Amino acid sequence: VVRIRTNAKFDDFYEIYGEPLGEGKFGKVFQCRERSTGLELAAKFIKIRKDADKATVEREVSIMTQMRHPRIAQIYDAFYAGTNDVILLMEIVRGGELFNRVAEDSYILTEKAVAMIVCQICEAIEYIHSQHIIHLDIKASHPSLSPLPVSLRGISCGGRGDNPENIMCVSETGNRIKLIDFGLAQYYDGSKDLYYMAGTPEFAAPEVIKYEPLDFRTDMWSVGVITYILLSGYSPFLGDNVAETYVNVERGEWEFTEEFDVVSDIAKDFIKNLLSYDKNNRMYPRECLKHPWIADTRASAAIDTLLAQPTIDDGATQLSNKQLKRYIVRRRFRKLAFAVMCYVDFRKILIDLRRRNSVKGEEFFAAAKVPDAPPSEEMGSLLAKKTKE
C-alpha cells in the first residue's frame, strides 16, 4: 500500500529530468527516475491550496493505491513536500494523449480501432466500479481552465492548468490505453445518494450538471461522448462557450451528424445505449463489453493483434480524422470553462434561494463574492434566458 511519506525527501530518492509531461488543474507532471533502480516514472506535483484540497489529494492517493489493473496507471510512491505540495509517483505512460494520437496522419482510424479503444476504457471502468468507485472525470480533452479554486456551501469547483486528458496511449505505435487520473473519483456503495458537481461539462452527464444523484452509469455517459467524438470528430454537446455546452447537456438532445453515414448501425446502437438521458437506460461497463459492437470486434482476432497499430482490414472503411483534428484545435482555444462552472453552481444556489424567497439575486452574488473571472455577457444572457424558461 502506498502512503504519502511525511519524513522522507523526494530528492533523496528520485530525480526529475527532461521536459514536463503535462499540466493538470493542481500542478505539473514531470518525467523522473528512481535513483536506486533507474526506474522511469511520472511525478505529479500537486499544489495544496487549502484543507479541502488536502483531503481531495489524500482521497486521490488512497483511490489510486487501490487500483491494480493493466488499463490504469499504477501509483508507485507519494511524498508530502513542504507544507503545500504532494508529489505522486506513478507509472509513466508515453504514447501521448488519446485524441492527439488518433488524429495523427499515421493513425488508421477505423471503427475497429475505435471499438478497441472504447473496449479498454470500459474494462478500466468495470474494474473501477468493482472497487466501489465512480471516476466522474472520464474525458479525453479539457477546455482551458482558469486557475481559481472556489468553494461555496460545500460545492467546490477546482480549477487547475490547461488541457489535461485522462486517457493516455501507452506507446506511439500500438492501440493500448491507460487511465491516469482519479482526481474527482468518489467512493460509492449505493447506500446513500451521491451528489457531485464537477468535471468537464462537455463530457459530464445531465445528472451532474443538474446536481441530481449520480451512480455508476454517470461514468458511462462520458464513454458515450468519447465514442461519438472518436467516430465522427464532433462533440455532441460542445457549444461555442461553456454555458452553451451546459445548456446542451441539460437538454440532453443530440443526433448523429452526417459523418455517421459511414458508421455501422451497431456502433450507433452502442452510442444510443450510453447517451440516454435517463441513466437507468444506460449500459453498465459489463453490458458494453457484451454489446455486439465490442464483443464481435474482440472475437474477430487475438487481443494482441487488436491492440497493435491499427491497419485497414478487407472491407473496413477508414474514417476521416479531418474533423477530429479541427475539434482538437478548437478545444485548445476554448476559454472560461472554470468561470462558467462556478457560475453554474452559483446559479443553482441562487435558484434555490429565490425559491425560498430569502434573497434577491444581485444581493446573493454580492454576498457570495463571485471571483474575478466573471461570466461573459453572452453566457450571462444565455443563462438568464434559461432561468426564465
Active site residues: 137
State the number of binding residues for ligand ATP (CB under 6 A): 24
Is 338 a binding residue for ligand ATP by CB under 6 A? The answer is: no
Decide whether 141 or 276 has the Cβ nearer to ligand ATP: 141
Q: Are 220 and 288 in contact (CB under 8 A)?
A: yes
Query: Smallest distance from the beta carbon of 377 to ligand ATP, in angstroms?
Result: 27
- The interface mask with ligand ATP, positions 349-378, x = CB under 6 A, is ------------------------------
Is 42 near ligand ATP (CB under 6 A)? yes
Residue 124, phi then psi, degrees to nearest 5: -60, -45
Query: Which DSSP letter does residue 373 get?
Result: S
Q: Judged by CB under 6 A, does residue 53 bind ligand ATP?
A: no
* Identity of the residue, 147 or 361, whose beta carbon is nearer to ligand ATP in the bound complex: 147
Own/partner long-range contacts of 283-288 (Cβ < 8 Å, ≥24 apart)? 283/217, 283/220, 284/126, 284/129, 284/216, 284/217, 284/220, 285/122, 285/123, 285/125, 285/126, 285/129, 285/220, 285/223, 286/126, 288/118, 288/119, 288/122, 288/220, 288/223
Site for ligand ATP in 56-95 (CB under 6 A): 73, 90-93
Look-up of cell digits 445518494: 193
24 binds ligand ATP (CB under 6 A): yes
- Among residues 145 and 306, whose Cβ is nearest to ligand ATP? 145
CB 231 within 8 A of CB 260: yes
Report the residue number, 22 or 206, with the smaller CB distance to ligand ATP: 22
- Enumerate residues 143-202 that contact ligand ATP by CB under 6 A: 160, 164-166, 168, 180-181, 183
Q: Which stretch binds ligand ATP (CB under 6 A): 15-23, 47-55, 315-323, 357-365?
A: 15-23
What proportions of the chain, in percent to the nearest 5, are helix, strand and coil?
40, 15, 45
Strand, coil or helix: what is 208?
Answer: helix
Please report whether residue 244 would count as binding ligand ATP according to CB under 6 A.
Answer: no
Do 165 and 99 form a contact (C-beta atoms < 8 A)?
Answer: yes
What is the nearest approach in angstroms of ligand ATP to the Cβ of residue 133?
Answer: 15
**Residue 204 binds ligand ATP, judged by CB under 6 A:** no
- The set of cell numbers assigned to 211 is 446536481
Residue closer to ligand ATP, measured from CB, 147 or 252: 147
- CA geometry: angle at 332 spanning 199 and 238, to 5°? 55
Contacting residues toward ligand ATP, per CB under 6 A: 21-26, 29, 42, 44, 73, 90-93, 97, 137, 160, 164-166, 168, 180-181, 183
